[in-house]
Chain A
C-alpha cells in the first residue's frame, strides 16, 4: 500500500463530500466484513471504501475500529461494537446499531489494526466530520488537513471554510487552506505569498517546518518571503523556548521541593540524618497504589478522586510509621546525629526489602486521573496538567507547613524543642511527644510527596533511592533548618538543571549542577540562608 493510494482514497471521499455527499452504492454488510478479513493492506482498502460509501453508520464503525472496540463474535460471525461494563462488554451490532447482548472480552475476536491504519482511520473519520455539528471534531479535522497538505482536499476545505461560523475554527480552516496552497504546484505566486503570511500567523513549530520547506523554493520572491517569515518566527519561538525552560525548571523544582520538604523537617530542624526519608516517599506512593486498587475493585466511579483520597491516607501511613520509628529507634539517638545515619540506613534497607516482599520487586501501576492527564497550550508552551497540579500541590504543602509551624501550638512547641530542648522541657513542654510528632510530620509530608511522585515516576521499591541524594542537596544548598531556603534551593536547582540540559545534555548538566553546589558551599558554608547565632555550633 503506497501513500499515493491513500491519497486517491482521500481524494475520492473528500470530493464526494464536497459535492454534498452523493452516496456511492455499496452493501454495508460486505464493507464491514471486509474490515475484519485479510491483511492490514486489505483492511486499509476496506476502510477507505467504507468511508467513501456515504453510509451513516460508517463514522461510528470506524471510530470503534480506531479505538480497538470492534469485535467479531465467533459464534455467528457478527461484527459488534463493545463497550466495557465492569468485566463484561455491552455489545451493539455494528450494522444496525441495535443492542446485541453482552460477552466477555475473551469470547470475542478483536479486529486488529496497526499504527498506519490508525492514521488512515483518523483521516477518514476527520474528513467524514469536516462538516460535523460538533466543533471539536471540525477543529481536529482542520488540524489533520493542515498537516496532510493534500492538494485534492482544497475544494472540500474551501467549502468548509465558507460554511464555518466559529471564528477560531474558521481560522484553522484558513490555515489548512494556506498550507495546502503553499505545498501545491498550481497555486499562483500571489496566493502563495498570502499563504506564507497566514502560516506565519499560526506561529507554531509545524508552521516553522512548512516555512523552512518553502524557503528552499525556486521562486526568488517566495523564497525571500518564506525566509523572512521563518526568521521572525524563529525569534519568537526562541523566546517561547526560554519561557518553556523556565516552566520545566519550576516543574522540576516543585518535584525536588516535594521530595525535600519532609527532609527539611526531619533533617533540617531535628538534625536526624534521615537516610530512610526516601522510603517514606515510597510508602506514600505504594499507599496511592493500594487506594487505586481498592477503588478500582469496589467503586470504579470514584476513580478520579483516588489521588485526593490517597493524600490523607499516605500522610497517615508514612506519618504513623515515622512516629513508630522515632519511638523505637531515633529517640535513643538524640545528641548522636551521626549514629542516626547508621540506624536510618539500616531502616531504609529493611523497608525496601519489606515492600519488595509484600508487593513484589516490579513496578506497580498508578494511573493518572482524567484531570491530571493531557496538556494545554499557553502561547507556544505545552503545559501538562499533571505537572501543573504537582507545582500547585507542592506550593500548597509548603504553605500549610509554614502555617502549622508558625500559627499552631504544635508548631510553637516544635520550634521551641528544636531550638533549645532543656529550656523547652523546663517550660513544661513534653519534649518526647513533640519529637515523635515532629518526626511523624516530616515523614507524613514525605508520604504526601510519594502520592505526587507516583504520577510521574516508577512505583517500585527503588523509588526512594532516586530522590534521597537530591533531597539532601536541596536542603543543604538552601540552608539547613530554613524552610524558605529549601523552597528557593529547589527552584534554583530545578531551573539551573533545565537551562543546562539543552546545551550540555542531561548527564553533563547534572554534573555541572553538582559542581556548582560544591563551589557554592565554599562561598557560603551554611547554604543560602544560614542560621545565625549559637544554634550553629
Chain B
C-alpha cells in the first residue's frame, strides 16, 4: 500500500533512475559472489566497499538537496547529522568488540581502559544491543534537528544566518567530540571494529551485504524524496523556497513545512552515516568539520540542485574524482578539484544534470538564429 503510494508519487525519469540504483546495488554483489576472483567480470569486495562509501555520501547529498534544493534552507551543518548517526553505529560496533580489545576488557573499549575509566559512561548504556542502537541512529540526529529547527524556524532565522548557526552547531559538536573527557574516543574516535550483527565486518560477504544495504537505502530515500516532492506538500515546499513571505501571507504555517523536511533530512543523513561507518572502518570527530558539510553542499551543486538525480550523480562524481586524483596526481589534485568547482559554477549553473537541458536550449537557440 505504502510502496504503491510512493511508487506512484515519483515521475518516470526518477523511476528509471531508482531502478538503475537498484541494479547498481544488486549486479555487482552477484558478480562478487558468483564469479571466481580473477575472472574479468569479478568485482572485488574492496571495490564494493569503495562504491558503498560513495553511495552513503550520495544519500547525504540527497538529504542536503531536500532541504536546500527544495526548501531553500542552505544548511552548512548537515555532516553533523551524518556523523551523529555514524557515532551511534560506532558505539554499537565498539561494544560488539567485547573482550577482543587489546586489554581484553569485556566492558570498556580500549580508549577508556588506558584513560582509566572505571565504568561505562551512562550514554553508552544500551548500545550493546542493535535493537537499541538502530532507532538511536534515527532519533539522535532527528532530535537535534528538531531542537535547532524548532527554535530557528519559529524565530524566522533565514538565509545566511541559518547557514551560519548550522555551521556553529557542527563546529561546536566537533570541538565537543574532540574532547577526550566527552567519553567518545576523542580525536582517535572509534576504529578496529570486529562484528556487525554477529558477522565479521571484514568478511567479503558482510561487505557485499553492507553495499547492498547502502544501495537499497539510497533507492528508498530517492523514492521517499520523490514522493514528497511530487505531492501537494512538495509543491508547498518549493513555494516556501521561492517566496516565503507570500506563503506566510497565504496562511501556510511555513515553519511546520520547514521543520518537517529538516528533521526528515537529518534522519536520512543519520542513516547514511550509520552505513558509512562499518564500510570505512572509522568514525572520528573530523567528520563534524565544517568543511565536510560545505563539501556535501558542493556535491549537490555539482550534480544539480533542485533535482533528485543530481545530488546522487554529484556526490559519486566528486568522490570518485577525489579517489582517482589523490592517487594519480597526488601533488596537484587540489588544483583540479578547485578548478572543477569554479568551472561548474561558471559554466554549469544547473549542475551536471542540467547540462543536457543547457545543451538542448543552446541547440534550439542556434537553430533559431541560423535561418535569420
A contact residues vs B (CB 8 Å cutoff):
267, 273, 275, 329, 332-333, 336-343, 345-350, 352-354, 357, 469, 472-473, 476, 480, 507-508, 510-511, 514-515, 517-518, 521-523, 525-527, 537
Contacts and interface: CB of A to CB of B under 8 A. Distances in A.
A270 B290 CA distance: 23
Contacts of A523: 155
B51 interface: no
Interface secondary structure of A, over-half rule = helix
B157 interface: yes
Contact of A473 (B164, B337, B346): B164
**Category for how many chain B residues contact A:** 35 or more
Given A346-B338, A350-B335, A522-B151, A329 B176 contact: no
Contact of A525 (B156, B163, B172, B302): B156
Interface in B288-333: 290, 294, 297-298, 301-302, 331-332
23 contacts: A273-B160, A339-B301, A339-B349, A340-B345, A342-B302, A342-B344, A342-B345, A345-B338, A346-B338, A350-B342, A353-B335, A469-B290, A472-B164, A476-B160, A476-B164, A507-B178, A510-B172, A521-B152, A521-B161, A523-B155, A525-B155, A525-B161, A526-B161
B50 interface: no
A72 B318 CA distance: 62
Given A333-B345, A521-B161, A347 B338 contact: yes
A282 to B, nearest CB: 14
A337 B331 CA distance: 31
A353 B171 contact: no
Given A339-B349, A342-B341, 14 more contacts: A267-B160, A329-B342, A333-B345, A339-B301, A341-B74, A341-B294, A345-B338, A346-B337, A346-B339, A347-B338, A349-B337, A353-B334, A473-B164, A518-B169
Nearest to B343: A346
Nearest to B295: A345
Contacts of A338: 74, 301
Contacts, number: 117
A339 to B, nearest CB: 5
Contact of B157 (A332, A472, A510, A522): A522
B344 A469 contact: no
B179 interface: yes
B175 A511 contact: yes
B179 A508 contact: yes
Interface of B: 74, 148, 151-152, 155-158, 160-161, 163-165, 167-169, 171-172, 175-176, 178-179, 245, 290, 294, 297-298, 301-302, 331-332, 334-335, 337-342, 344-346, 349
Interface centre among B74, B151, B172, B349 (most CB of A within 10 A): B172
Contacts of A352: 334
A510 B173 CA distance: 11
Contact of A347 (B152, B245, B297, B342): B342
A350 B338 contact: yes
Contacts of A357: 331-332
Most buried by A among B167, B342, B349: B342
Given A275-B294, A339-B345, A521-B157, A511 B301 contact: no
Contacts of B338: 345-350, 353
B178 A336 contact: no
Contacts of A473: 164, 168
B165 A518 contact: yes
Nearest to B294: A345
Given A275-B294, A349-B334, A527 B161 contact: yes
B155 A332 contact: no
